[in-house]
Amino acid sequence: MVAIVYVEVVIEVPEVVRNKAVSCGAEAWLAAIPDLVAQLEQEWSFTVGPVFDGGTEAVVATAVLDDGAEAVVKLLVPRRSDEPDESDGPDGPGTDGAVGAAFAEREIVALRLADGRGCVRLYRADEARGAMLLERLGPSMFDLGVPFEDRLIALTDAAMRFWQPAAGLDLPTGEAKARHLATTVVERWERLDHPCAEQTVAEAVACADRRANAHKNAHAVVVHGDIHQWNALVAYDADLDGDAAGLEFKLIDPDGFAAEPEYDLGILMREDPLELELGEPFDRARRLADRTGLDADAIWEWGVIERVSTGLLATEIGLQPVGRQMLELADRIAAT
């Protein structure tokens, strides 16, 4: 019998991730990270490097494969089965309903199905341990300062490459997503003592009800669920000296659920509220529909839901001025 000795590695867990793990009761997971990484290094043939800053839901570190190729290792914070997921949104948290082990499984299913189309490529994964070995990518759209119009086009194009048929997959549905958002909007609005108009909340709930009723399993695709400029990274070896409009961006951190593709474009309606208000708001939905061949009304309604939901969440956690901007715009739209 040959004994395998794991050499302890030093992993500097970012404070935000550490706090998240503690809030989830995952102190044992934090303590076991060095052993877990050492085991994965042996099993997946890589050497771990520095940890990236800025994560909230996972420890993400550089890695070098045995053949010299660069990669990324990602370790998701374990979740309690009763804990709702508040995944990344505009410069921080957004909204979602993934819980427990399914949180890792859904991301892995989505990445495997897309197979690098419009998203980061998955090399290896272990659902039980919430671990992934991923393609190394470069800076995000936000880091590169990609202009709004170029951003909208690149994110839409990445989404269209990412979408794959969801038939036969055991994933949460767009119907469940809509009903979850409607419930959390009302609960959070009451808890925050009504930071936006009652009419705004009523409109968001009505839009959620229509999108829930419109869900059809046969027409669902695996959506990303959180498409924005912080979740879109350029290729690691891209020439960053040229025009950003010519770069191909890949999505990271998919939520992975089965819904109408208009959901992902609703996220793009939620983002950049100041730019949306500069023109006629519905025009963005029309443009997204024209580029994708999808339904502008469905895109608009998902945008209404996401704008109010994320605006309330951002207000609750003190993420300003984003929360205030979203809710003020939502109030003005609901009043028209």
Please name the amino acid found at residue 195.
P
Phi then psi for 25, rounded to 5 degrees?
Answer: 75, 30
Higher pLDDT, 62 or 92: 62
Rounded-to-integer distance, Cα 114 and Cα 123, Å: 12
pLDDT value at residue 125: 97
Q: By percentage, how much of the chain surpasses pLDDT 90?
A: 76
pLDDT value at residue 236: 87
| Residues forming beta bridges with residue 243, ordered by sequence position | none
Q: What is the 3-state secondary structure (H, E, C) of 278-323?
A: HCCCHHHHHHHHHHHCCCHHHHHHHHHHHHHHHHHHHHHCCCCCHH
Max Cα separation, the chain? Answer: 75
What average pLDDT does this structure show over 306-321?
Answer: 94
Strands 122-126, 232-235: pairing kind: unpaired
**How big is the chain by its Cα radius of gyration, in Å?**
20
CB neighbours of residue 291 within 10 Å = 14
Confidence label for 24 from pLDDT (cuts 50, 70 and 90): confident
Which stretches does DSSP call E strand in the chain? 46-51, 58-65, 70-76, 88-89, 92-93, 122-126, 131-135, 137-140, 164-165, 221-223, 232-235, 249-251, 257-259
For residue 95, pLDDT beyond 70: no
For residue 278, pLDDT beyond 90: no
Q: What is the pLDDT of residues 102-146, one digit of tens each?
A: 778 999 999 999 999 999 999 999 999 999 999 999 999 999 999
Would you list the DSSP string of 69-88?
A: -EEEEEEEPP--TTPPP--E
Rounded-to-integer distance, Cα 73 and Cα 134, Å: 6
Higher pLDDT, 4 or 52: 52
Q: What is the pLDDT of residues 32-87, one digit of tens each?
A: 999 999 999 999 999 999 999 877 889 999 999 999 999 999 999 987 544 444 44
> What pTM was estimated for this model as a whole?
0.88
Least confident of 92-96, 210-214, 217-221, 301-305: 92-96
Q: What is the pLDDT of residues 174-207, one digit of tens each?
A: 999 999 999 999 999 999 999 999 999 999 999 9
- Cα-Cα-Cα-Cα torsion 282, 303, 330, 199, nearest 10 degrees, comes to 100
Tokens 């990602």 sit at which residue? 74
Please list, in sequence order, all residues whose beta carbon lies within 8 angstroms of the beta carbon of residue 149, skipping any fewer than 6 positions away.
none
Structural domains of the chain ordered from first start: 15-136 (3.30.200.20), 139-335 (3.90.1200.10)
The answer to whether 98 and 77 are in contact (CB under 8 A) is: no
Phi then psi for 231, rounded to 5 degrees?
Answer: -105, 15
Enter the tokens of residue 295: 């339904």
| Residues forming beta bridges with residue 124, ordered by sequence position | 133
- State the average pLDDT for the chain: 89
Strands 70-76, 249-251: pairing kind: unpaired
Q: What is the pLDDT of residues 229-255, one digit of tens each?
A: 999 999 888 877 766 667 899 999 999
For residue 282, with 0-12 CB atoms within 10 Å meaning exposed, 13-18 middle and 19 or more buried, which class applies? middle
What average pLDDT does this structure show over 307-316?
Answer: 95
For residue 307, pLDDT beyond 60: yes
pLDDT value at residue 92: 38
